[in-house]
C-alpha cells in the first residue's frame, strides 16, 4: 500500500536509503532533494503546490511529498534481540491517540538510542504521514512493534528480564531511581494515564515533580524527560 509523506527533513532522511520511496513530488527548486533523487535514481516530478496539498492532505508539506510503501512494524523479538546500549530500553505507549505525540516520542527515542517503541494495533495511532513528519525521519530509524495486548506483552518482557517502569501522577520522584537495568518505560495518555491492568504489571511508578499550577505535561514531553533520565543514568558525565 502507498502512503504519502511530506516535509523536507523527512524527504532528506528517506532519500539517504530510499528502498521504500516510489516517487518524489516537488514544488519549486530544492537542489539537495533533486540531487538525491538523481543520485538514488528515484523518479522526480515537478508540480504545483495545490497538487502537493491534495496528495499530503495538508498545506504544510514544505513543497515536497513522497509516495512510499507503508511503514513497517517489527516483531517484538526483533526489538529485544540486540540492545543498543548496556541494557535493553523500550518505550511502551498506552492509549496514545495523537500522531504528533507519537512522532515526537520517536524523535526522542532515536536521540537516546532506545531499542524500539511498542503500541497497540487497534484504537491507537499508527505510523501515519503525520507521525512521519513530526518524527523528522526517526520513523525510519526507530523500530516500532504493534501488539494486540500491552499487558500480556509486558508480562512476556518481564519473563525476559525487563523491568516495567510506568509514568503516572502518584509515583516516586523519577530522579530517585537508577535505571541501570533492562527496562520498558510505559507512557499513558494525558487524560487517561496508564490503564489499570497494565499499571499492575509495573515494577515502579515514577512521577515528574510539578512546582507550577499546571497539573500535567504533554505525553511526549513527559516521555522525553524520562527517556533522558534513563540515558543520563546509563551514560553519566
pLDDT in tens, 17-36: 888 899 999 998 899 999 99
pLDDT of residue 169: 85
Question: Which residue is listed with cell 498545506?
Answer: 59
**What is the number of structural domains in the chain?**
2
Domain identity same for 125 and 218: yes
Domain identity same for 51 and 88: no
Q: Find, among 149, 223, 144, 230, the residue nearest to 187 by Cα.
A: 223
Domain identity same for 90 and 59: no
- Which helix (H) or strand (E) covers residue 5, if one does? strand 2-6
pLDDT of residue 123: 62
Domain identity same for 124 and 48: no
Facing residues of 45 across strands? 25
Domain identity same for 140 and 216: yes
Strands 116-120 and 163-173: unpaired
Secondary structure of residue 32 in the 3-state scheme? helix
Render pLDDT for 41-99 as a digit per residue (tens, 0 to 9): 999 999 999 999 999 999 999 999 999 988 889 999 999 999 999 999 999 999 888 88
User: CATH number of the domain that 58 lies in?
Assistant: 3.30.1330.30
Burial class (CB in 10 A: 0-12, 13-18, 19+), 12: middle
Q: Is the pLDDT of residue 198 over 90?
A: yes
In which domain, by residue range, is 133 found?
76-234
* Alpha carbons 7 and 24: distance in angstroms, whole number: 11
153 vs 237, which has greater pLDDT? Answer: 153
Final residue belonging to a domain, choices 16, 40, 69: 69
Domain identity same for 143 and 189: yes
Calculate what percentage of the chain has a pLDDT beyond 70.
99
pLDDT of residue 142: 96
Domain identity same for 118 and 230: yes
User: CATH number of the domain that 223 lies in?
Assistant: 3.40.1280.10
Q: Is the pLDDT of residue 143 over 70?
A: yes
Quote the mean pLDDT of the chain: 92
Domain identity same for 219 and 181: yes
Domain identity same for 187 and 104: yes
Instruction: Measure CA of the first residue to CA of the last residue in the chain; give whole Å.
Output: 46
Does this model's pTM top 0.85? My answer is no
Final residue belonging to a domain, choices 69, 94, 114: 69
Domain identity same for 11 and 96: no
Q: Find, among 51, 98, 84, 78, the residue nearest to 220 by Cα.
A: 98
Q: Which of 21-30, 85-94, 187-196, 227-236 has the lowest mean pLDDT?
A: 187-196
What's the DSSP call for residue 127?
S
Q: What is the arithmetic mean of pLDDT over 161-168?
A: 97
Final residue belonging to a domain, choices 69, 87, 120: 69
* Alpha carbons 140 and 82: distance in angstroms, whole number: 18
User: Which residues 6+ apart lie within 8 Å of 9 measured at CB?
Assistant: 136, 137
Render pLDDT for 101-126 as a digit per residue (tens, 0 to 9): 999 999 999 999 999 999 998 766 78
- pLDDT confidence of 2, banded at 50, 70, 90? confident
Amino acid at each position: 500500500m502507498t502512503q504519502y509523506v511530506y516535509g523536507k527533513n523527512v524527504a532528506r532522511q528517506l532519500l539517504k536509503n530510499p528502498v521504500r520511496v516510489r516517487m518524489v513530488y516537488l514544488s519549486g527548486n530544492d537542489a539537495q532533494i533533486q540531487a538525491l533523487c538523481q543520485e538514488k535514481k528515484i523518479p522526480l516530478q515537478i508540480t504545483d503546490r495545490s497538487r502537493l496539498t491534495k496528495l499530503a492532505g495538508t498545506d504544510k508539506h514544505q513543497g515536497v511529498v513522497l509516495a512510499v510503501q507503508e511503514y513497517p512494524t517489527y516483531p517484538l523479538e526483533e526489538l529485544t534481540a540486540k540492545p543498543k546500549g548496556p541494557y535493553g530500553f523500550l518505550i511502551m505507549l498506552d492509549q496514545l491517540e495523537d500522531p504528533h505525540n507519537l512522532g515526537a516520542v520517536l524523535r526522542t527515542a532515536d536521540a537516546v538510542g532506545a531499542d524500539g517503541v511498542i503500541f497497540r494495533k487497534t484504537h491507537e495511532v499508527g505510523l501515519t504521514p503525520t507521525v512521519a513528519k513530526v518524527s523528522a525521519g526517526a520513523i525510519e530509524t526507530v523500530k516500532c512493534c504493534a501488539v494486540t495486548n500491552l499487558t500480556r506483552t509486558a508480562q512476556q518482557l518481564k519473563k525476559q528480564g525487563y523491568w516495567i517502569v510506568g509514568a503516572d501522577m502518584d509515583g516516586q520522584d523519577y530522579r530517585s531511581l537508577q535505571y541501570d537495568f533492562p527496562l520498558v518505560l510505559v507512557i499513558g495518555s494525558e487524560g487517561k494515564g496508564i490503564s489499570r491492568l497494565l499499571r499492575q504489571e509495573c515494577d515502579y511508578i515514577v512521577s515528574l515533580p510539578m512546582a507550577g499550577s499546571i497539573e500535567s505535561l504533554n505525553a511526549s514531553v513527559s516521555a522525553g524527560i524520562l527517556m533522558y533520565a534513563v540515558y543520563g543514568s546509563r551514560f553519566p558525565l
